[in-house]
Structure 1
Amino acid sequence: MKTHLQLFIAFFRSGMLGFGGGPSAIPLVHKEVVKTFKWMNDDEFSDVLALGNTLPGPINTKMAGYIGYRVAGVPGMLNAVLSSIVPTIFLMIILLTTLASFKDQPWVAGMTRGVMPIVVILMAVLTWDFFKKSKQSLGWIVSIGLIVASFILIELVHVHPGLLIALLLSYALLKPDKKKNEENKGQKERGVV
């Protein structure tokens, strides 16, 4: 029961505070899943995020479904998904009916402008964390090269980010494992194999 309450809290908070949609909720989900409840480490979270970005649909819902399933099976999946979408649906209905009458007021536009810098900082912090992780596993040159190549492909060539992520995941899955090849080579030299 405690696990289900924690799942509800984690995805309720990330769903309610993820202003602007999925991308802004990712740092909040990361904080809940990795830092607060420690259901995953950073590497596992980045794998879930990368795979979730290649699939269609809202990222927050996909991540809630997978993480909920991993933590507490099918009931956990249902709990996490519902806690991330149902409260925001009700809130959206209430706010849209209320704000429709105030949409031309300056304070409504000010709310949106006031939250945007916070979303930018959340995304920048998450990006920096992922960059540090990739630097550790790939090195500075490869990490920076991938960032530059991704920027060019996405912004200038207009390649869809999902396609780029799918290509990189495919490469990671299909590339030869140097460490394993070195171990096999060492075993052959010692006559173990």
Structure 2
Amino acid sequence: MKTYLNLFIAFFRSGMLGFGGGPSAIPLVHKEVVTTFKWMNDEEFSDVLALGNTLPGPINTKMAGYIGYRVAGIGGLLTAVLSSIVPTIILMIVLLTTLTSFKDQPWVQGMTNGVIPVVTVMLGVLTWDFLKKSKQSLGWKLALFLLVISLLAIEVLGIHPGLVIAILLAYALLQPNRAKQSQKKEGEN
């Protein structure tokens, strides 16, 4: 029962505080799943994030569904998904009906604009953490190369991020495991 409560708390918090949609919720989900409850490590989380980005639909609910299922089966899946979407539904109804009457007020526009830098910083910190972790597994040169190529493909060529992620996943699957190769070389020496 405590596991379901923890799933509810983790995804309710990220759903409540994830202002602006999926990208703003990702660092919050990361904090809950990796730091607070330790259901995954950073590498597993980045794998779930990458796979979730390739699939259609809101990232927060996809991640909640997978993580909930992994932690507590079907009941965990339902708990995590419902706790991640219920806050949004409630807040949409309450805030939209309230803010619609005040939408032209400067304080409402200022409130909305004030959240953007915070979300940007949260995403930047998460990106930096992922870049540092990819340096450990790939090395700086390959990690930065893949970062630049992905950025160019998405921003300059207009390739959908899901397709870029799918290509990188295919590359990783087809690439021989470096750890096994280095172990073979050490064993031969």
Question: TM-score range, shorter-chain basis?
Answer: over 0.9
**Which runs of structure 2 are paired with 1:20-35 in the superposition (5 Å)?**
20-35=20-35
1:38 maps to 2:38: yes
Aligned residue in 1 for 2:4:
4
User: Structure 1 counterpart of 2:175, which letter?
Assistant: K
CA distance in 2, matches of 1:28, 1:185: 41
**Which runs of structure 2 are paired with 1:147-186 in the superposition (5 Å)?**
147-181=147-181, 183=183
**Which runs of structure 2 are paired with 1:45-84 in the superposition (5 Å)?**
45-84=45-84
Shift in Å, 1:94:
1.1
For structure 1, the residue ranges without an aligned partner over 5 or more in a row are none
- Secondary structure at the counterpart of residue 101 of structure 2: coil
**Which runs of structure 2 are paired with 1:94-109 in the superposition (5 Å)?**
94-109=94-109
Aligned residue in 2 for 1:90:
90
CA distance in 2, matches of 1:6, 1:12: 10
CA distance in 2, matches of 1:172, 1:136: 15
CA distance in 2, matches of 1:179, 1:67: 27
CA distance in 2, matches of 1:167, 1:12: 33
Shift in Å, 1:185:
6.8
CA distance in 1, matches of 2:65, 2:48: 11
Aligned residue in 2 for 1:13:
13
Which range moves more in the overlay, 138-147 or 34-43?
Answer: 138-147
Normalised to the residue count of structure 2, the TM-score between the two structures is 0.95
User: Structure 1 counterpart of 2:147, which letter?
Assistant: I
Shift in Å, 1:130:
0.1
CA distance in 2, matches of 1:185, 1:99: 65
Which structure has the larger Rg over C-alpha atoms?
1
The root-mean-square deviation of aligned C-alpha atoms, in Å, is 1.5
Shift in Å, 1:87:
1.9
- Secondary structure at the counterpart of residue 60 of structure 1: helix
User: Structure 2 counterpart of 1:97, which letter?
Assistant: T
CA distance in 2, matches of 1:185, 1:141: 22
CA distance in 2, matches of 1:180, 1:106: 60
Which range moves more in the overlay, 53-62 or 175-184?
Answer: 175-184
- Secondary structure at the counterpart of residue 40 of structure 1: coil
Aligned residue in 2 for 1:123:
123
Give a deviation string over 1:41-81, Cα, whole Å, max 9, x none: 00000000000001111000000000000111000000000
Give a deviation string over 1:65-109, Cα, whole Å, max 9, x none: 000001110000000000000121011011111111111111110
Normalised to the residue count of structure 1, the TM-score between the two structures is 0.93
